[in-house]
Amino acid sequence: MKLLELRHLSTHYVSARGARVTRAVDDVSLTVGEGETLGIVGESGSGKTTLALSLLRLLPPAARIVSGEIWFEGEDLLTKSHREMRRVRGKRIAMILQDPLASLNPLFTVGDQVAEPLRVHEGASRGSAWARARELLRAVRIAAPETRVREYPHQLSGGMRQRIVGAIAISCGPRLLIADEPTTSLDLTIQAQYLQLLRDLQRDRGLSMIFITHNLGIVARMCDHVAVMYAGRLVEAGPVARIFSSAAHPYTQALLESIPRMADGRKRLTAIDGQPPDPVALPPGCAFHPRCPKVLDRCRKEAPPEVRVAASHTSRCWLAS
């Protein structure tokens, strides 16, 4: 059953006088089912974070959702007022941001920050909210929660801060959790522990998740489906096993080829030639064509439509048409 459905969503950044328009998210359609995990991958600047912020309608002033629909639990979030959206954020949809130190207020204790959503959304008293905060710290496997609730963010390690923002995100029992590159600043050991923690929380609480990452290894471990973004567009989407075994888009194939493999004897890593395009001045046709090793003349002139490669597997490439 669908929990979230995006229909042709487009989000643009506009300069002060409207002279420059950046199509950060361009005609994106995707779904997330109940209890499923969707991975969103792509290079920096591909529109992944803007897509997540569009779901929550937390865009900066220069950004505008110019078209599309965001259906969540049978309601179009784009028709809701700002006041109604405040009741959705944190309560029904929660987000873990990339930098936990920037997410936490240095002037308030951990207990106050974990308890705040409970007081805002559920009307809990300070005492009961703090008691729940200690339980949430135990749920994210922080030792000595009675002590930690009285500490400040700067007194905690990076891994502990990441667990704290996870506790804040799950505090009100959301249906959907968006994790925006939550393991970027963690070392490999702590990263593995944090990923296992997220999987355990998802299983125990019946969460659906959107996992934004550069790391396809994390996608293989965490996700049921994957959506690949390039220059604001969804270029390929499908079940993880299908995408990893039969990727249809050259960009997805290049991403998979760039994964380090310990057993194949290569001395150099495979890299994607060139740089992502300037989102203000995208090339005509397919945005990936200047970097594509399989480019056709048609790719330089016409943007490919989305085609169905197989059941639940779509791609935007003339080679798949």
Q: Which tens digit of pLDDT belongs to each residue from 164-210? A: 998 999 899 899 999 998 887 777 777 888 888 888 888 888 899 99
More confident residue, 154 or 102: 154
DSSP at 227:
E
Give 262's contacts (C-beta < 8 A, 6+ positions apart).
none
pLDDT of residue 265: 64
pLDDT of residue 158: 83
pLDDT of residue 1: 78
The domains of the chain, with CATH numbers, are 2-92+174-261+286-320 (3.40.50.300)
DSSP at 172:
T
- CB atoms under 10 Å from CB of 234, counted, come to 26
Q: Is the pLDDT of residue 85 over 90?
A: yes
Q: Predicted confidence band at 57 (pLDDT cuts at 50, 70, 90)?
A: very high
The CA distance from 18 to 21, in Å, is 7
The CA distance from 259 to 149, in Å, is 40
Q: What is the DSSP string of 44-84?
A: TTSSHHHHHHHHHT---TTEEEEEEEEEETTEEGGGS-HHH
The CA distance from 235 to 220, in Å, is 18
| Mean predicted confidence (pLDDT) in 307-315 | 92
Q: Which tens digit of pLDDT belongs to each residue from 119-147? A: 989 888 999 999 999 999 998 888 899 99
Taking the chain, what is the end-to-end CA distance rounded to the nearest angstrom? 29
The CA distance from 144 to 132, in Å, is 14
